[in-house]
Amino acid sequence: MIIVTEDIKLYNLAAFAAVRLNLIDEDLELDLEVKPDLKDLMFGYMIGDEDMYMIRVAEVDPVTVFHEMVHVDQYVKGRLVRSSGKAFWKGELVPETVPYLDKPWEQEAESLAHVFKDMWEDARCE
């Protein structure tokens, strides 16, 4: 994995998550940038496919960066597949009607993001 960003803290957060997700050896490029204008809309988002991914965050917040890193992992490892406007989680179609926060990839991203945040804080205190 090649991590491209001008922000050293973003780099450190992305690399921290990438190591724990076993993404670091994947042949892909990840580009991260802070976009303060996002603030009123969302914490951040991820777009990408195959070997090129982009993460944009409103601010350099560990949970937000880790959350988006989990989404990268979901696509790279194939847990989440989007095809013809439909989303499949671990091979099962997830209906559009499932509320955003109940979508299984959002639940996984949020819970892992908090696990990583705890690990990140523990590592910082040593």
Nearer to Zn ion, 66 or 123 (CB): 66
Binding of Zn ion at residue 32 (CB under 5 A)? no
Nearer to Zn ion, 29 or 106 (CB): 106
DSSP string, 106-121: HHHHHHHHHHHHHHHH
Tokens of 54: 């982009």
Q: Is the dihedral of CA 118, 1, 45, 79 positive or negative?
A: negative
Over the window 97 to 126, marking each residue x when it contacts Zn ion by CB under 5 A and - when it does not, the resulting string is ---------x--x-----------------
Tell me which residue has tokens 């993404």. 23
Q: How far is the CB of 5 from Zn ion (least distance, A)?
A: 19
Q: Interface residues with Zn ion (CB under 5 A)?
A: 106, 109
